[in-house]
Amino acid sequence: MKHTVKLFTIGMKQIAKDGMLAVMVPAPFLIGLFFKFAIPFINTILVRELSFSLTPWYGLVDGMLICLAPMFAAMISAFLLLEERDEGIHAYYQITPAEGYSYLFARIGLPMIGAFLITIIVAAFFNISSLSAAAILASALVSSCTGIFLAMMVVSLAGNRVEGLAASKLMGISFAGLILIWFLPAPYYYVVSFLPSFWVGKLMTDGTEISSLLFGLLTCLLWITFFTRKFLKKV
């Protein structure tokens, strides 16, 4: 564990030196501020001018906020892994005590624990749909596990950082499950239930049902297992 923490600390120093990665760290808070004040302001204007309210979609906005924080963490972790692969550093780590799963835990696991805590803070302070503490905790847990899946997807599909930029665009597709649950009637929206974000959406719309939490975590686990095995075959 000591080697894993040391490796995590080295990664944090690398992030601080990389402007593109460093700017993603405060991004969830900045987006949360925007959602908290801009969306209700826009809603007020729409109601006054067009008699159209965004209030029914406030849960969708909060769901996107909860999904964004782990997604940024996933991008940071993935680009850091790919940069170390480009420079051949990952090969060095393979002959140290911090190899294999310990290496992945330092680069993805620990950052996602941080992302989980950040997600809770951001959702608690900036949500606009009066989310309960239970809903925030459950959806943040599923979303953080989704971040692990997204990071593993990028590093298993991309061979270098340039390819990683292209692969990271697939992260946007992961939002489809969250978005479509607001626009497709039941049971048709279950067509995207294989995406973890769908279960975040279920937690937003149906409350903290234990079944939605468990299915969300199971979906994440299946994707994480698939892409982790694919990644470890490449290293």
Residues whose CB falls within 8 Å of the CB of residue 111, separated by 6 or more in sequence, listed in order: 8, 11, 73, 76, 77
Between CA 97 and CA 100 the distance in angstroms is 9
| Helix, strand, or coil (residue 96) | coil
Between CA 23 and CA 35 the distance in angstroms is 18
Read off the pLDDT of residues 62-112 as tens digits, 9 standing for 90 and up. 999 999 989 999 999 888 888 877 766 655 555 555 556 777 788 888 889
Band the pLDDT of 134: cuts 50, 70, 90.
Answer: very high
* Predicted local distance difference test score (pLDDT) of residue 70: 92
Q: Helical H runs in 18-160? A: 19-22, 27-50, 58-86, 89-93, 101-104, 110-126, 133-157
Q: Is the pLDDT of residue 164 over 80?
A: yes
Residue predicted with more confidence, 42 or 228: 42
* Predicted local distance difference test score (pLDDT) of residue 94: 56
**φ/ψ of residue 188, rounded to 5:** -65, -25
* Predicted local distance difference test score (pLDDT) of residue 9: 82
Band the pLDDT of 162: cuts 50, 70, 90.
Answer: confident
Residue 110 — left, alpha, or beta (φ > 0 → left; ψ -120 to 50 → alpha)? alpha
